[in-house]
Amino acid sequence: MQRTIFHLDLDAFYCAVEELHNPDLRGQPFAVGGSPTRRGVVASCSYPARMFGVRSAMPMSRAVQLCPDLIIVRHSHDEYSAMSKRVMTILHDTTPFVEKLSIDEAFLDMSGFPGEPYDLAVGLQKRINEELELPCSLGVASNKLVAKIANNMGKARQRTGQPPNAIEVVPPGTEANYLAPLPIRELWGVGPKTAEKMHEMGIQTIGDIAAQKEKLLIDQFGKIGYDLHLRARGIDARPVVIERPTKSVSSEITFDVDVNDSDELKRSLRQQSENVGRRLRKSGLSGRTVQIKVRWEDFTTITRQSTFEQPSHNDHWIYETALDLFQHVWDGTRRIRLIGVGVSGFENAARQLSLWESDDSKQQRHVQNTLDDIRERFGDDSLQRGSDL
C-alpha cells in the first residue's frame, strides 16, 4: 500500500515560544541558552541570529563573537513543555498515528486520508500557525527517511532571516531521484568516519552510494552497508510507531536555586532512586542499567550510566549506583540545576524473582513492599531515612 508520511518540526521552537511572551523579540537576533561567561550553550537561536552564523549547540561565547548584538534569553522549560503538549494535541486530532520524536518533532502517518498530501500538509501547518501562533515545517514522502530529509531540505532552502514555515513534498516514485544529488551526510547512518571513508572511495552524493554494488558497501562498512544501500535508494519500511513500550523509568528534580551542597545532592539522589524503584516495582519491571542526568548551572546536561548483569528494582542498588556515577562527574564545587536518576534495560521482574530470590532478599522485598504501601497511601514524604534527617 502507498503510504503518506509527514515529518513535522517546529521552527526554532524555543525562540518562537519566547516571541509569544515577548513580541519585542520578533525580528531580533536572539538565542535561548546559558550565559557566555559561564560556558553556556545555544539551545535555540532565532532566524535573524542564524544570518550571523549562530547555530544551536554552539558555545554562547562563540555566538556572541559572531553576533555582538545577540540578545540572550534564559530557558523557560515549563512553557516549552506546555506548548509542546498543545502541538501534540493538534497532531493527535489530525491522525491517531503520531510518533513523537522530541519536544518539537513528530512523524504522522497520513496514509489513506482523502485529499492531496500537499493540501493536507498546508491545512495542518495553518492550524498550528493560527491556533498556536507557531511556525512549523513539514516534509511529506512515502516513508519516514525521505520525509525527514525533505523537511531538512525544505527548511534549508529558505535563508531569509524569517522562520521557514516550509512544506516539501517528494511524490511517490521519485524518492531515489530526490535523494541522488544530496551530500552523503544527509543520510541517516553516515557519520563523520563513514563519510571520510566514502570520500576516499570517491563517493560524494547519496546517488553515488545508490550506484555502488551492495556487496562492496557491505565489504567496506559491514552490516550498515546493506542499510545504506537501501536508504540511498529512498527505501525505508519502518512504520510510524504509535506508542512506545516503557523503555525507562526515571525521576528528576530541578532545584529552585542551583545547588552544590553535597548532602542535599545525595539526599536528592536518594529520593529520586526511591521514586524510580517504587514505580519499577509497581509496574513489575526490573532493569540492568542505572542512569544519572546532571544539568549544570550553565544548562549543559550530561548523562552517565552503568549496566549490570543482574536486573534489579532495589532502591538501595539504584541509589548506590547513581551515587557512584555522580561522584565520578562532580568536582564537589560545581553548581547543579537539575539532577535525575533512571533505570532501563528491562526484564520481567516476576521471572527474576523466582530465579534469584534468596531468603535474605525475600525479607528485603517484604520491607520494601511495606514501605511502598505506606508511601502510596501517605505520600513520598511520609517516611524518611534516618541518614537523611
Least distance CB 92 / Mg ion (angstroms): 19
Q: By C-beta, is 13 or 346 nearer to Mg ion?
A: 13
Nearest by Cα to 192 from 153, 156, 62, 183: 183
- Least distance to Mg ion, CB of residue 183, Å: 21
CB nearer Mg ion, residue 8 or residue 64: 8
| Residue placing its CB nearer to Mg ion in the complex, 31 or 294 | 31
Which is nearer to Mg ion, 76 or 260 (by Cβ)? 76
Out of 18, 19, 99, 105, pick the active-site residue. Answer: 105
**Cα dihedral sign for 236, 240, 246, 251?**
positive
User: Residue 42 in contact with residue 60, Cβ under 8 Å?
Assistant: yes
145: nearest Cα among 70, 227, 251, 67: 227
CB count within 10 Å of CB 192 equals 8
Candidates 326, 167, 338; CA nearest to 256 is 338
Q: Which residues bind Mg ion (CB under 5 A)?
A: 9-10, 13, 104
Q: How far is the CB of 150 from Mg ion (least distance, A)?
A: 15
Using the minimum distance from each CB to Mg ion, give the nearer residue, 101 or 329. 101
Measure Cα distances from 386 to 364, 370, 383, 389 in Å: 18, 17, 9, 5
Lookup result for grid cell 542498588: 317
Cell of residue 242, nine digits: 504509535
Count H helices and E strands in the chain, helices first. Answer: 15, 12
Q: Which is nearer to Mg ion, 9 or 109 (CB)?
A: 9
The distance of closest approach from Cβ of residue 250 to Mg ion in the complex, given in angstroms and rounded to an integer, is: 23
- 121 CB contacts (<8 Å, ≥6 apart)? 6, 138, 140, 167, 169
End-to-end CA separation in angstroms for the chain? 63
In angstroms, give the least distance from the CB of 88 to Mg ion. Answer: 14
**Active site (annotated) includes residue 264:** no
Q: How far is CA 324 from CA 183, 304, 388, in A?
A: 43, 10, 18
With vertex at residue 306, the alpha carbon angle to CA 301 and CA 312, rounded to the nearest 5 degrees, is 120
State the minimum distance, in angstroms, from the CB of residue 8 to Mg ion: 9
Please give the positions annotated as active site. Answer: 105
